[in-house]
Structure 1
Amino acid sequence: MKLRMQAHVRKGAGKGLARQLRRQGQIPAVLYGQGTSLLLAVEPAAVRKVLLTQAGSTSLIVLTISEGEETTERVAVLQDYQTDPVTGAILHVDFFEVSMEKPVRVHVPIRVIGETPIGVKQGHGVLHLGIRELSVECLPGAIPESIEIDVSPLGVGDARYVRDLQPGEGIKLLDDPDTMVVTVSAPLSEAKLAARLSGEALGAGPAESTSTSPSGE
């Protein structure tokens, strides 16, 4: 999946310039890869659009980069981004330029498909996800939006591991083959459930006491 994004080359760096860019409706970005790095500015709305797609950060992005009167295009993936811890606003973005002929390593989300597992419907078990994404290596054009796993046949005590997945032709899984992806565990007995609830209640007591005691701050 390819998306397009406008960017322009920015001169200089630092917190002052970053604040100035944000006042202008832009955010600082850096394009890494292919032996060079390039300081850019992009619109936060365009970055949010990428993150909201099903493929998310695995999407290939065609960056149309303007510098004065010159315009170039680079193909990249969104490697990392920073957000404001209070407002959630996107503050900074890192892109990684890719070559369509060279394999890249990216993180791909796991997508659970199928019906409610047998162990949940008939055995009152609980479905647990061990991991939510996988590390893969493949050509940029083969990056999947997600890797699917059908949980329908799972009974109580059953599990699926990385080694059980079929990511598709040309896609190499980099995670440990013995990493558990999903399992259906047995339901808690009434005694164990009561003990857990009792333990949580006891654990909550000191926290409430601490929050109401004078601290002088």
Structure 2
Amino acid sequence: MSKVFEVKARRRDRVGKSSSRKARAEGWVPAELYGFDIQENHHLLLPRREVEPLLRGDSWSTQVLSISMEGEGEPLMALIKEVQRHPLTGELLHLDLYHLVRGHLVTVEVPVHLVGKEICPGLKLGGVLEQFLHEIEVECDPRLIPDEIKVDISKLGIEDVVYVKDLELPEGVKATEEPDAVVLVIAAPRVEEEAAPAAAAVSAAEVPTVAEQKREARASKEEE
């Protein structure tokens, strides 16, 4: 299960570009909290120093936040659904948060983590790892969201394939992807493609150039 991170937030009194810029300058990140049980989105401000570390790596989409606001009772549980950054500077601009309700299933993309690459027989024989799915969409209770989905490739040979239906998921977690969708394959080494240029080079070396053909023709006439 994903770890729950506690974050202290405050409500936004004003919305708009100017107020958002001011909030970011003061160290806050504007955020929208929404969910099936929320009629009107909550406009929030989250401290950047607490949020930024959670966005490092590939597993931020599985991070569960416990958002507390002073004087408002129990914390709100939420998932980070979207992260907006400045395209040039990378500055964190905005977050979309989805409100979690215990007992209500949620859909989330969980990163795939490969184990056993260093001892994979297929790779040792020159096979090529081709991974088609780097995240798997799953459905589960918010309390059961996994940090990652491990795929053991330590025994895979050349041309072995791992499908979504082959994944070992925790109890209570169901993949929503097509069961026959390919996660990865150990493809055969491209020996023929590499050998073809070499063969072409040998054939070219065996064919005399135009200059060589002319010299041979002159030598033949002189002998006559």
Shorter-chain TM-score category?
0.7 to 0.9
Q: Secondary structure at the match of 2:122?
A: helix
Calculate the TM-score normalised by the size of structure 2: 0.80
2:67 is the counterpart of 1:41 = no
2:76 is the counterpart of 1:83 = no
2:41 is the counterpart of 1:50 = no
Point out where structure 1 has 5 or more consecutive residues left out of the alignment. Answer: 196-217
In 2, distance between residues paired with 1:8 and 1:80? 19
**Large movers: runs of 4+ above 3 Å:** 69-72, 190-195
Calculate the TM-score normalised by the size of structure 1: 0.82
* Equivalent in the alignment of 2:135: 133
8 Å contact from structure 1 (residues 50, 57) kept in 2: no
1:116-148 deviation digits (Å, cap 9, x = unpaired): 321111x21111211100110000111000111
In 2, distance between residues paired with 1:19 and 1:191? 55
Candidates 110, 113, 122, aligned match of 2:112 = 110
In 2, distance between residues paired with 1:98 and 1:191? 52
Superposition deviation, residue 70 in structure 1: 4.6
Superposition deviation, residue 40 in structure 1: 0.4
* Equivalent in the alignment of 1:186: 188
Point out where structure 2 has 5 or more consecutive residues left out of the alignment. Answer: 198-224
2:133 is the counterpart of 1:119 = no
Letter in structure 1 aligned against 2:87: P
Structure 1 residues 70 and 145 mapped into 2: Cα distance closer, same or farther (>3 Å)? closer
Tell me how many residue pairs correspond in the alignment. 192
2:96 is the counterpart of 1:94 = yes
* Equivalent in the alignment of 1:3: 5
* Equivalent in the alignment of 1:172: 174
In 1, distance between residues paired with 2:154 and 2:75? 44
Pick the structure with greater CA Rg.
Answer: 2
**Same amino acid, percent of matched pairs:** 33
Q: Secondary structure at the match of 1:19?
A: helix
Quote the RMSD (CA, aligned, Å): 1.9
* Equivalent in the alignment of 1:215: none
* Equivalent in the alignment of 2:203: none
Q: Secondary structure at the match of 2:65?
A: strand
In 1, distance between residues paired with 2:72 and 2:80? 23
